[in-house]
Amino acid sequence: MAFFEAKFYSESLGFQTTSYVIKPQRSTEGQIGVDGKVENGEYKCLYLLHGLSDDHTIWMRRTSIERYAEEYGICVVMPFGGKGFYTDMKYGEKYYTYITEELPRLMEEFFGIPRKRELNFIAGLSMGGYGALKIGLKNPDKYAACAGLSAVADISGWTKGCPDIMVPVFGENPEVPASEDLFCIAEETNKLDVKPRVYMGCGTEDFLYEGNIQFRDKMKTLDFDYTYRESAGVHCWTFWDEYIQYVLKWMFAEQ
């Protein structure tokens, strides 16, 4: 695998930003301890989103994502998402537009990563879990599958309980717009002929567990290819390092 730190100007955000990118290396002859899978043709790509207290570096620092991705021969793009819940913020940056429109275009320009739906996937944890589910469900023409780990599945509770964080995102009105509520988004996407596969995982001791269960029960009433997994665990990297491996297997091996 090759690891890149890409620094570039984002027109959507209006400032210089950074994404980590890992991409398979076709030839690793002589490299010890590497047994990756590299195929000819176009690479599949996973956009991997961080949580509220983190940045684009966190997946590389807290997990073995490069080694896990090498097993499947995929690219992984880890962008900076600030504290914007991957939304075009009321008082802030346009992170939704950046992730869904500008970033894929730039990744194609810089690294030759194709934008075909069947080759693109998105996942994340906590705030990034919300972002990945929202983006995947709202853009079924762009992503074949989406996954949320310990996701902020019920965003409405945050707007009422964390105004210092959420007012810049959605404004002063504590009611979340339907266009940003996962429950409403899922209902709308359910009406479409083309839908992404959806995966969720959460620890049973996680403080976001109840919201994940509520959204799980909602998804069970809809017509999605939906997978849910839980086990003992809290909101921590021990859990996410384990579960990102389940996500990768579900996305790229169980087809």
Question: pLDDT by residue (tens digit) across 104-124?
Answer: 999 999 999 999 999 999 999
d(CA 211, CA 202): 10
Q: How far is it, in rounded angstroms, from Cα 3 to Cα 76?
A: 10
Let me know: does 81 contact 26? Beta carbons within 8 Å: no
pLDDT averaged over the chain?
94
Domains of the chain: 2-27+34-252 (3.40.50.1820)
Give the 3-state secondary structure of residue 122: strand
> Is residue 181 classed exposed, middle or buried when 0-12, 13-18 and 19+ CB atoms within 10 A define those classes?
middle
**pLDDT tens digits, residue range 186-242?**
999 999 999 999 999 999 999 999 999 999 999 999 999 999 999 999 999 999 999
Confidence band (pLDDT; 50, 70, 90) for 29?
low
The model's pTM is 0.95
Residues counted in the chain: 255
Rounded mean pLDDT, 171-176? 88
Torsion of CA 138, 142, 144, 146, to 10 degrees: -40
Report the pLDDT value the prediction gives residue 158, as an integer from 0 to 100.
87
Short-list 161, 178, 171, 243, CA closest to 206: 243
Q: How far apart are CA 148 and CA 229, in angstroms?
A: 11
